[in-house]
């Protein structure tokens, strides 16, 4: 029997820091959300509240001992309203209907895996082998899977990543759709919010009882995931240093001491073949490339040879770069006529990093669509524009290209390297060219090593070319740049 609903989505907080992220994602998708701690509301109070949907948050511990009212909530509202569980929330669903939650045989803390799914319910329109972020050491077992539940998603090695009730509109996922590194997490939440009623025969999105797709995937920790997690730690630590607090950086910026900037998009259009020459000492896939490289010397060499922009890796752990490298690169070219634009190549997720880039001489920053949900992408793009920098917006797929175009990006770069596997496919850029508006500057990023690569892209309408490793390894850098740009 369906409840008369207040229209509110109730989120039960199992005392987990990710609850806020779940709340934010729900709100971003248009939900009106009320949050209650798992020991600070009763079932009777929830019934009177008449929620339209119920979400059970992640949380530490085991669902049978640490989830508070969560299990009782699932029992009470089953068959009445849609219910969605995240991580321990999914384990609560598994437990309520009689399944066993035990050690998964591996500890996953901020690691990304690719999963297969059945394409139903919350997985409607989600591509196979989607990358999801996992924080758990427990999981439900296949052997104890309740008869009323079906597996909706799993990893390659068979760990259950999602379950769905066969009759009631109840779904749970072991991973974190709210994580910034989970692909299409916003669409999963949107799919859940579109479900109506307490049973699938009345739902807007109706799953069929079926097994998980047989498509295989690779279950391995994503390099992007590890880099992102580490950079989050770095930025948090830096923000508490007195000289580098966000307020201190903003005060400095408001004193108008940031170096004079040039328009990145205009500078690219000034070149027939716009080369974005990259300073990169190392990479996750290739290890050390030129560990002794001097950023200032390399920047001067690039600028004198005709680069339209200089990309400086400022990530210290995998790429061995720093913000000091970018500042030095900017200083050494500052007095040159029609100098190249300076790009901060970084894994950016916070306005703080953009402001830091501007204060240290950047003309533009990189925004990686794969890393950012729609709300954060728009926020970072707008902030960058507000301080005079047109970002280079990086994509790797048709769905990401659509998001970049909807953003209004003037400069879009297609990364031929997949940031989860780090495999390179030069056809990636070619496959997306037709989607790009005529007025948008399209750049090809990664894997370019010859004039032949450049000429092929030029015939397709590509305007800019980012080259890093090949330049760093070149015996005669100036000669190689001249070959690339055709002079």
User: Which CA distances in Å does 327 have to 225, 256, 320, 391, 405?
Assistant: 27, 17, 15, 18, 31
Residue 445 φ/ψ, nearest 5 degrees: -120, 135
Q: Which residues are catalytic?
A: 87, 176, 178
- The answer to whether 99 and 140 have CB atoms below 8 angstroms apart is yes
CA distances from 227 to 276, 347, 371 (A): 23, 8, 11
Encode 288-331 in three state secondary structure.
ECCCCCCHHHHHHHHHHHCCCEEEEECCCCCCCCCHHHHHHHHH
Structure tokens at 38: 């798992």
Q: Count of residues for the chain?
A: 487
Those residues with Cβ within 8 angstroms of residue 227's Cβ, 6 or more apart along the chain or in another chain: 284, 315, 317, 318, 347
Radius of gyration of the chain measured on its C-alpha atoms: 25
Nearest CA to 9 among 162, 195, 172, 186? 195
The CA distance from 220 to 218, in Å, is 6
* d(C-alpha 154, C-alpha 146), whole Å: 16
Which uninterrupted H or E stretch holds 131?
A: strand 130-140
Q: Any idea which residue has 């758990």 for tokens?
A: 136
DSSP state, 416? S
DSSP for 82-111 reads -EEEETHHHHHHHHHTT--EEEEEEEEEEE
State the Cα–Cα distance between residues 236 and 349, nearest whole angstrom: 12
- The tokens of 313 are what? 């890796």
Sheet strands (E) in 347-483 = 364-368, 392-395, 411-415, 441-445, 464-467
Contacts 24+ apart (CB under 8 A), 292-295: 293/472, 295/321, 295/324, 295/325, 295/326, 295/328, 295/329
């Amino acid at each position: 029997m369906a409840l008369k609903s207040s229209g509110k989505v109730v989120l039960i907080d199992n005392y987990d820091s990710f609850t806020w992220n779940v709340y934010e994602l729900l709100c971003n998708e248009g939900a009106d959300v009320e949050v209650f701690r798992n020991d600070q509301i009763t079932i009777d109070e929830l019934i009177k509240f008449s929620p339209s949907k119920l979400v059970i948050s992640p949380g530490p511990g085991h669902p049978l001992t640490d989830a508070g009212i969560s299990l009782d909530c699932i029992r009470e509202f089953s068959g009445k309203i849609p219910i969605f569980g995240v991580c321990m929330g999914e384990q609560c669903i598994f437990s309520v209907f009689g399944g066993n939650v035990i050690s998964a045989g591996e500890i996953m803390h901020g690691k990304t895996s690719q999963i297969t799914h059945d394409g139903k319910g919350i997985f409607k329109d989600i591509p196979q082998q989607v990358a999801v972020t996992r924080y758990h050491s427990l999981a439900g077992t296949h052997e104890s899977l309740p008869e009323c539940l079906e597996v909706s998603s799993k990893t390659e090695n068979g760990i259950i990543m999602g379950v769905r009730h066969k009759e009631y509109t109840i779904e749970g996922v072991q991973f974190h759709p709210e994580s910034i590194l989970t692909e299409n997490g916003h669409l999963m939440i949107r799919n859940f919010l579109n479900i109506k009623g307490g049973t699938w025969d009345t739902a807007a999105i109706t799953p069929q009882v079926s097994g998980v797709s047989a498509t295989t995937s690779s279950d391995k920790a994503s390099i992007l995931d590890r880099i992102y997690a580490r950079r989050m730690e770095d930025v948090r630590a830096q923000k508490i240093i007195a000289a580098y607090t966000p307020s201190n950086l903003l005060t400095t910026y408001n004193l108008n001491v940031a170096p004079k900037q040039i328009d990145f998009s205009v500078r690219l259009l000034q070149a027939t073949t716009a080369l974005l020459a990259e300073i990169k000492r190392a990479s996750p896939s290739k290890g050390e490339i030129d560990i002794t490289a001097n950023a200032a010397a390399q920047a001067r060499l690039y600028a004198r040879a005709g680069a339209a922009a200089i990309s400086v890796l400022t990530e210290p752990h995998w790429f061995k770069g720093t913000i000091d490298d970018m500042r030095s690169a900017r200083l050494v070219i500052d007095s040159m006529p029609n100098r190249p634009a300076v790009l901060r190549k970084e894994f950016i997720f916070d306005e703080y990093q953009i402001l830091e880039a501007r204060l240290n001489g950047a003309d533009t920053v990189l925004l990686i669509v794969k890393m950012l949900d729609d709300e954060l992408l728009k926020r970072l793009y707008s902030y960058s524009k507000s301080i005079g920098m047109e970002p280079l917006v990086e994509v790797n797929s048709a769905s990401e290209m659509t998001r970049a175009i909807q953003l209004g990006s003037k400069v879009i770069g297609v990364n031929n390297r997949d940031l989860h596997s780090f495999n390179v496919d030069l056809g990636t850029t070619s496959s997306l060219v037709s989607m790009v508006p005529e007025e948008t500057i399209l750049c090809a990023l990664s894997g370019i090593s010859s004039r032949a690569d450049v000429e092929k892209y030029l015939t397709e309408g590509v305007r800019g070319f980012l080259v890093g490793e090949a330049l760093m390894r070149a015996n005669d850098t100036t000669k190689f740049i001249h070959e690339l740009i055709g002079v």
